[in-house]
Copies of this chain bind each other. A is one copy, B any other.
Amino acid sequence: MYSDKNTLISVGLKITPQRIAVMEALHKLKSHPSAEMIISFIQKSHPHIAVGTIYKVLDLFVAKGIIRKVMTDKGVMRYDSVLDKHHHLYCSESGEIIDYVDEELDVLLKDYFERKKVTGFSIEEINLHLIGSYNKKKKE
């Protein structure tokens, strides 16, 4: 797997301490962190890195395809450093967002949309969002 520096080089970006710090934060905060979580994390070890810089670097990484923005209905930006095809579990209790990977599911959805052909709409991506909660099994 690429190192952080190699990733930057591979997309034509200069290696700066601030960018390395952001990438580290994204990898260590595994749970699709919000901008605020990333900022807090970074400022613990790099208190001099400006908030504006972090936002700018995050936007740059999204633009370069190094990370992706995550959909939420909370009105805050969250980020995903895992680029491989996956879906998300949204814990309605904790707010946690967990990756869900299953190739069978991907095939199922792909087949369905090849059959169904949503008229006039060219599909680029299919994301499944599962809302639920951990552990407390509903007794239905």
Contact = CB atoms under 8 A, between A and B. Distances in A.
Contact of A71 (B100, B116, B129, B132): B129
Contacts of A37: none
B100 A105 contact: no
A137 B123 contact: no
A1 B104 CA distance: 40
Interface of A: 68-78, 89, 91-92, 98, 100, 102, 104-105, 108-109, 112-113, 116, 118, 120-138
Contacts of A126: 128-131
Contacts of A109: 128
Given A71-B73, A73-B69, A75-B75, A123 B131 contact: yes
A132 B138 contact: no
Given A77-B73, A112-B108, A131 B127 contact: yes
Contacts of A98: 121
Contacts of A70: 73
9 contacts: A71-B72, A71-B73, A72-B72, A100-B118, A105-B116, A118-B130, A122-B138, A126-B130, A129-B129
